[in-house]
Structure 1
Amino acid sequence: HGQEDEHTFRRALPGYVYRFPADHAAHPDFRTEWWYYTGHLTTEKGRNFGFQLTFFRHALRPPSTESQSRWAMHTLYFVHFAITDEKKDTYRFQEKVSRGALNMAGADPETYHVWMEDWEVSLQGKTHRLKAGKEDMGIDLALAPTKEAVIHGNNGVSQKAEGEGYASHYYSLTRMQTTGVLHWQGHSYEVTGQAWMDHEFGSNQLRDYQVGWDWFSVQLDNQTELMLYVIRHRGGQVDSTSSGTLIHPDGSSEHLLLSTFQVETLGSWRSKKSGTIYPSGWRLTVPGKKLELKLVPTIKDQELTTRKSTLVNYWEGSVRVTGSFKGREVEGRGYVELTGYDAKFRPDI
């Protein structure tokens, strides 16, 4: 982390005004940006799948007056794509990496279109179109948001550490009606389901003493959603800026401070591939909202060992959700992301 680039990349500061759909597009004046989709798909015969598709943009130096093509060389793009097959207890992921040269990969700052070769996400009206993979493992999906974008944090910033600018601009589309085709192991399935989109951009989010995070997204069948993230320090303490958002059926939302919720780990799982030990199974409680949820992975092994692109191991997987909310039983589905349990992990964000 050189000092000079912190003064040339734009920082995520309070007071940012979001405009949609313009803010779905790329923000090249920030160093790091990602567009992240997860979802739960069901075939016509009731077979359940999960998917993750994430496009990352990482600028190696700030945009300047140099030509667009020269500047493109100073941007790295990564894509992670994963499918969880609940019935077969199978998980597969693919990754791609590219510099923005020769138009092989890019992120349009004017209209929402992010691509790498023939993998892409784009906007058609209000519908998000996702295309990734091939015949043995691929998706071609249309995602229609049923709620407006939810802005996380206070005053337009999601704080990730103490100190000005150690933050991101972060919003989500927490419920997206999803239809399309899943290609899997030689078959093509018509699928329907629900998806979630995160879009986050900033320039220096984490401090050196922070090692990783546990992130949770939950979609309950009663049309309520929950997002929580817990940032961990080297010594095992939880960062005070960890927070969350509760989204109501009407789309309104509430910011949740760390003091208002608890995340309890119920078990662990050891990866045979990397040797990393991850938490596995959680209890999330928000006492003031009378919300208590149990999250169980649909399958244990949903680890990405990204040797080509980001060079880190992380766990990103679909979970089943049960529990109670205001005295009533609830159930739903979710996704959990676990980073920094691998000793080598040090994201340059």
Structure 2
Amino acid sequence: MTKKVKGQTVKLGLAILVLTLILSGFIYDRFQSENTLTSDSEVTVLRAKNANVFEPVLPDNPVILPDDFSFQNEYQHGWWHFFANVADRNGNQYGIQWSYFRIASQDRERSGWQSPQLFISNIVISSGQKVWKEQRIARGGIGQAGMIPAPFKIWIDNWMWRSLGRTPFPGQLLTETDTFSLNIRSNTAGPFVLPGDRGYVAKHDLLPIASHKVTMPFLDVVGEITLDGEASIRVFGSAWMSKEWGSGLLAEKQKGWDWFVLNLDDETTLSVNRYRHFKQMPHVFGTLSTNDGKVVQLQDENIQFEPVKLTTLPNNKTLPLQWRVVIPKYQVDLTVSAVNDQLWLPFIIPYWEGPIKTEGSHNVTGFMQLTGY
């Protein structure tokens, strides 16, 4: 066995050991069957058995900004997602994805090495042919990861999102790895949006499974990326960001979700979600937002949202990487496909996520996220 392979094996073993020790209250079986569309354990890190000891997500507790940009450690989970579609001066296109997760093993806060908080961050850059990705994992309580609400800063090791005020914007995302780095600056080009009922987003038709959420669907971005040690590439484009938090965010019979963010034009963004259940119909909902402040909440009866083609990846997983999204009332009729099929991300919380391309009523950019497969 080569030194490189040995090093990778040791890193993987340490990551699994850390996760097992810190999240002893969770049921998490990372290495289970890879069969198509039947796996639910890959997202069970969001389905904790002791979720009832954390603060529940209730509809009479609206999201309040900028206060709710801070951590809410009384809830079990919290995470940020940032997607950017950018291009360089030659027209070469790239997708940029940043995720930052906070997961607690118990509701009682403790200092130092006794902290119940685990932090996970993922960075992904992709082109139509290649993917660059890395993950960082950190304990809470020892300064390796955390948050400062004012001025706003979230970090893990030398990766950070920071701004000069109490909100993330104008903001700067800085990351550096052995094979790539990025320095991206983002600013708002439209309002923040509270999906659902003032930020309360239901995930199930019958059970009280929900989260609190705020989205930032209108962002302009500019910055630099470096890939494989080559010269820095100046890029610019648009982006979408969200923050979501709650406790026990999946019911026991939920398999995972399918999530699309679609920039219909410079003024309108569509987000559609499909939460899949065992032996039940999926729970489908969406949000249509415009940069003049209009927000339309879409229910199942407003959306036709189904996979139309399966793709088998080199790891033998079969995923629906082509979809049909139809919203007749708003003249949306799209066939959505992945730009680069090879964006299965084998992280601690594994999922497929990447830029999309479309045919149909709109010339769309955006992102697709598929979990639980």
TM-score range normalised by the length of the shorter chain: 0.7 to 0.9
What residue is the counterpart of 2:54 in the other structure?
9
What percentage of aligned pairs have identical amino acids? 25
Do the aligned residues in 1 keep the contact of 2:113 with 2:140 (CA within 8 Å)? no
- Partners in 1 of 2:203 and 2:148 — Cα distance? 26
Equivalent residue for 2:368, pick from 330, 336, 339:
336
- Pair 206,284 (structure 1): closer, same or farther in 2 beyond 3 Å: same
Match of 2:85 in 1: 40
Aligned to 1:320: 357
SS at 2:172 equivalent: strand
Structure 1 residue 4, shift from structure 2 partner = 8.3
Superposition map of 1:251-290 within 5 A = 251-273=293-315, 275-290=316-331
**Distance in 2 separating the partners of 1:287 and 1:31:** 38
Encode CA deviations 1:11-32: one digit per residue, 9 max, x unaligned. Answer: 1111223333332221111110
CA contact (8 A) 1:100 1:106 kept: yes
* CA contact 2:321–2:338 (8 Å) conserved in 1: yes
Structure 1 residues 125-140: aligned runs within 5 Å: 125=165, 126-134=169-177, 136-140=179-183
Q: Cα deviations across residues 193-228 of structure 1 (Å, max 9, x unaligned)?
A: 111101100002211110110000001234211001
Aligned length: 324
SS in 2 for 1:115: strand
Cα distance, 1:165–1:129 mapped onto 2, change above 3 Å: farther
Say whether residues 1:186 and 2:186 are aligned partners.
no
Q: Which structure is higher in helix share?
A: 2
In the TM superposition, residue 163 of structure 1 has moved relative to its aligned partner by: 5.6
Opposite residue 268 of structure 1, the aligned amino acid is L
How far apart are the structure 2 equivalents of 1:304 and 1:261?
28
Q: Distance in 2 between matches of 1:192 and 1:124?
A: 22
What TM-score comes out, normalization by structure 1 length? 0.87
Is residue 161–residue 205 contact of structure 1 (8 Å, CA) maintained in 2? no
CA contact (8 A) 1:50 1:318 kept: yes
CA deviation vs aligned residue, 1:296-332 (integer Å, no higher than 9, x gap)? 21111111012xx33x3x11010023432xxxxx212
Aligned to 1:301: 342
Give the aligned partner of residue 215 of structure 2: 172
Helix, strand or coil: the match of 2:53? coil
**Displacement of 1:165:** 4.6
Cα offset, 1:164, TM superposition = 6.5
Shift of residue 135, structure 1, vs aligned partner: 6.1
Q: 1:109, CA displacement in angstroms? A: 5.3
Q: In structure 2, what is the Cα distance between the partners aligned to 1:319 and 1:152?
A: 22
Indicate the SS of the match to 1:288. helix
Contact map agreement 2:88 2:234 (CA 8 A) in 1: yes
- The CA distance in 2 between the partners of 1:169 and 1:157, in whole Å, is 5
Comparing 158-167 with 277-286, greater Cα deviation is found at 158-167
Deviation at 1:292, TM superposition (A): 1.2
* Distance in 1, Cα, partners of 2:218 & 2:291: 10
Quote the Cα distance in structure 1 between the aligned partners of 2:297 and 2:318. Answer: 31
- What amino acid sits opposite 2:235 in the alignment? V
Q: Which residue of 2 aligns with 1:248?
A: 290
Preserved CA contact (<8 Å) 2:191 2:291: no
Report the equivalent of 1:124: 164
Q: Which amino acid is 2:356 matched to?
A: V
Q: Any idea what SS the aligned residue of 1:23 has? A: helix
Compare 73-82 and 104-113 and name the one that shifted more.
Answer: 104-113
Please tell me whether the aligned partners of residues 13 and 164 of structure 1 are also in contact (alpha carbons under 8 angstroms): no
For the residues of structure 1 that align with 2:144 and 2:213, how far apart are their CA atoms? 27
> In the alignment, residue 297 of structure 1 is paired with which amino acid?
A
CA contact (8 A) 1:122 1:129 kept: yes
Cα contact 1:22–1:112 (8 A) shared by 2: no
Partner SS state of residue 314, structure 2 = coil
Aligned partners of 1:133, 1:165: CA distance in 2, in Å? 40
Q: Which runs of 5+ in 1 are unaligned?
A: 325-329, 342-349
* Contact 2:308–2:324, Cα closer than 8 Å, also in 1: yes
- The one of 71, 75, 82 equivalent to 1:30 is 75
Matched letter for residue 79 of structure 2: W
**Residues 46 and 286 (structure 1), Cα distance of their counterparts in 2 relative to 1, 3 Å cut:** same
* Aligned mates of 1:283, 1:4 — CA distance in 2: 35
Closer, same or farther in 2 for the Cα pair 1:335/1:226, shift >3 Å? same
Q: 1:139: Cα distance to partner?
A: 1.2
**Partner Cα separation in structure 1 for residue 331 and residue 266 of structure 2:** 15
Which segment drifts farther, 106-115 or 214-223?
106-115
* Structure-1 separation of matches of 2:183 and 2:142: 25
1:114 to 2:154 alignment: yes
State yes or no: 1:143 paired with 2:186.
yes
**Could you tell me whether the CA contact under 8 Å between 1:211 and 1:234 is conserved in 2?**
yes
